[in-house]
């Protein structure tokens, strides 16, 4: 064997095999993507709003960007490591802790990039079907002790991780099934839990259609509980992720201004300091067509924002730094809110005082 043949043999042995994955929406194929960044679209209309890909087998830059974008999308399908007890969850399923997007993408692909947020997934085995892996229909594992309390348990990765590592946010959270419905349990300090439930209660009393949070008792404490607002035919994309590829301001201003002003008014009334880009977004149907804003959810930072606190949602939408109070005044005018009627209905002192300023 010549030196050249030896060298070629060594190089060949070091080359990584080219991997390929099929991006799916339920049982519909969206595209095939390889580890080199080649993309073949099969139904581009179904491409997730938070993923940008181009079909080109010759342009190195496009293929490189495809790889980076797909990796980032996969990585975004699992919990962030700021999440309380995230490391405990990964340890419990014997998965190495993620240190970067590549690690996170690798973990997500182990579980086919499934998420409670929507119906997208990545097919890694030709025999996989949506019916066999659909999180909305298949059993949710008993993972409450780890996800909410950080207790040291060992679980089977394939029956557990995809149900919980696909939940974003910092507070300890877990999904449970009650009858035919999925519910999120959220832990934390008692004051945070009670504030979330109270904020939901008072807003609903005032006539706002916000997500309902209730107290739920566990054997060693209480948590807040809310019903999942996505299903196997309905998903959502966060405002921040949507804004990466599309103009959020144009979309909201043209179609969903009433829903948006309702959200910013609610946030002002309860002093919600945490309406960042991942705590609201856009809903879409099984054909990936936008249908409206997400329900108003996540109140665990209620009763904390001072009057001069900037509206985070308004800053994302317009780029302007405006106080929650000033945006709420615009909302009252746009929505034609009867403040006197709300004052009569309100039974929360904090909200009552903020109503008086409108």
> How many Cα atoms are found within 13 Å in the side-chain-facing hemisphere of 28?
16
User: Is 180 found in the same domain as 240?
Assistant: no
Residue 97 sits at the vertex; the CA angle it makes with 91 and 103, to the nearest 5 degrees, is 140
User: Is 42 found in the same domain as 160?
Assistant: yes
**Lowest pLDDT segment from 13-17, 310-314, 315-319:** 13-17
Question: Cα dist. 164→83, 182, 328 in Å?
Answer: 11, 12, 35
Output the pLDDT for position 167: 46
User: Is 314 found in the same domain as 180?
Assistant: no
Question: In the listed set 124, 155, 187, which residue is the last one of a domain according to the structure?
Answer: 187
Instruction: Answer whether residue 165 is part of any domain.
Output: yes
Question: In the listed set 152, 170, 187, which residue is the last one of a domain according to the structure?
Answer: 187
Q: In what order do the strands lie in the sheet with 181-186?
A: 173-178, 181-186, 221-227, 214-218
Full residue range of the structural domain in which residue 100 is found: 20-187
pLDDT digits (tens, 9 = 90+) for 23-71: 999 999 999 999 999 999 999 999 999 999 999 888 999 999 999 999 9
Instruction: Answer whether residue 131 is part of any domain.
Output: yes
Percent of the chain with pLDDT over 90: 62
Residue 146 pLDDT greater than 90, yes or no: no
The first and second tokens of residue 76, run together, are: 């975004």
Identify the DSSP state of 235.
E
Average pLDDT over residues 62-91: 72
Instruction: Answer whether residue 44 is part of any domain.
Output: yes
Q: Find all residues with CB under 8 Å of 8, minimum gap 6, and list them.
A: none
Instruction: Answer whether residue 211 is part of any domain.
Output: no
d(CA 169, CA 152): 21
Cα torsion 165, 160, 99, 106: sign: negative
Instruction: Answer whether residue 87 is part of any domain.
Output: yes
Instruction: Answer whether residue 210 is part of any domain.
Output: no
In this prediction the pTM is: 0.84
The first and second tokens of residue 288, run together, are: 């990936």
The first and second tokens of residue 48, run together, are: 């997730």
pLDDT digits (tens, 9 = 90+) for 235-292: 999 999 999 999 999 999 999 999 999 999 999 999 999 999 999 999 999 999 999 9
Q: Which of 15, 185, 167 is nearest to 81 (CA)?
A: 167
Output the pLDDT for position 88: 52
User: Is 136 found in the same domain as 58?
Assistant: yes
User: Is 151 found in the same domain as 33?
Assistant: yes
> How many Cα atoms are found within 13 Å in the side-chain-facing hemisphere of 137?
10
User: Is 175 found in the same domain as 75?
Assistant: yes
d(CA 138, CA 135): 5
User: Is 239 found in the same domain as 135?
Assistant: no
> β-strand 181-186 against 173-178: which pairing, if any?
antiparallel
> β-strand 214-218 against 234-238: which pairing, if any?
unpaired
User: Is 239 found in the same domain as 180?
Assistant: no
Contact indicator for 326, 268 with CB cutoff of 8 Å: no
User: Is 178 found in the same domain as 32?
Assistant: yes
Number of independent structural domains in the chain: 2
Residue 345 pLDDT greater than 80, yes or no: yes
User: Is 256 found in the same domain as 164?
Assistant: no
Residue 111 pLDDT greater than 90, yes or no: no
Question: In the listed set 187, 218, 245, which residue is the last one of a domain according to the structure?
Answer: 187
Place of tokens 């000033």: 326
Dihedral angle at the C-alpha atoms of 171, 267, 244, 83, nearest 10 degrees?
0
Contact indicator for 155, 141 with CB cutoff of 8 Å: yes
Q: How many residues does the chain have?
A: 358
User: Is 176 found in the same domain as 96?
Assistant: yes
What's the gap between Cα 200 and its chain centre?
20
Output the pLDDT for position 171: 52
User: Is 179 found in the same domain as 248?
Assistant: no
- Find the CATH number of the domain harbouring 246: 1.10.1070.20
Q: Find all residues with CB under 8 Å of 56, minimum gap 6, and list them.
A: 39, 62, 63
Q: Alpha helices of the chain — where are they, by DSSP H?
A: 3-14, 60-75, 86-92, 101-110, 130-133, 144-149, 157-164, 190-205, 239-245, 248-255, 257-270, 312-318, 324-335, 339-345, 349-356
């Amino acid at each position: 064997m010549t030196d050249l043949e030896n060298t070629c043999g060594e190089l060949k042995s070091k080359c990584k095999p080219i991997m390929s994955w099929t991006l799916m929406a339920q049982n519909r194929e969206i595209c095939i993507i390889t580890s080199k960044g080649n993309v073949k679209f099969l139904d581009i209309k179904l491409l997730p709003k938070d993923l940008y890909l181009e079909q080109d087998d010759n342009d190195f830059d496009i293929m490189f960007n495809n790889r980076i974008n797909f990796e980032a999308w996969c990585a975004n399908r699992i919990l962030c490591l700021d999440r309380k007890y995230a490391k405990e969850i990964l340890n419990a399923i014997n998965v190495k802790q993620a240190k970067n997007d590549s690690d996170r993408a690798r973990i997500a692909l182990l579980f086919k990039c499934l998420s409670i947020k929507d119906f997208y997934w990545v097919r890694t085995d030709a025999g996989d079907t949506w019916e066999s892996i659909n999180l909305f229909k298949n059993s949710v594992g008993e993972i409450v002790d780890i996800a909410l309390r950080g207790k040291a348990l060992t679980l089977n990765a394939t029956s557990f991780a995809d149900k919980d590592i696909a939940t974003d946010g910092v507070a300890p959270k877990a999904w449970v099934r009650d009858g035919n419905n999925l519910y999120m349990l959220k832990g934390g300090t008692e004051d945070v839990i009670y504030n979330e439930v109270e904020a939901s209660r008072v807003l609903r009393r005032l006539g706002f259609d916000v997500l309902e949070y209730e107290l739920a008792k566990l054997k060693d404490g209480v948590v807040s509980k809310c019903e999942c607002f996505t299903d196997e035919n309905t998903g959502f994309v966060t405002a921040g992720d949507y804004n990466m590829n599309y103009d959020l301001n144009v979309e909201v201003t043209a179609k969903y201004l009433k829903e948006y002003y309702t959200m910013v008014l609610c946030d002002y009334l309860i002093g919600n300091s945490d309406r960042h880009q991942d705590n609201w977004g856009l809903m879409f149907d099984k054909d990936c067509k936008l249908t409206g804003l997400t329900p108003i959810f996540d109140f665990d930072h209620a009763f904390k924002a001072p009057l001069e606190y900037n509206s985070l949602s308004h800053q994302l939408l317009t780029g302007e730094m405006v106080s929650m109070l000033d945006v709420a005044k615009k909302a009252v005018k746009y929505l034609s809110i009867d403040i006197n009627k709300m004052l009569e209905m309100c039974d929360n002192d904090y909200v009552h005082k903020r109503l008086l300023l409108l």
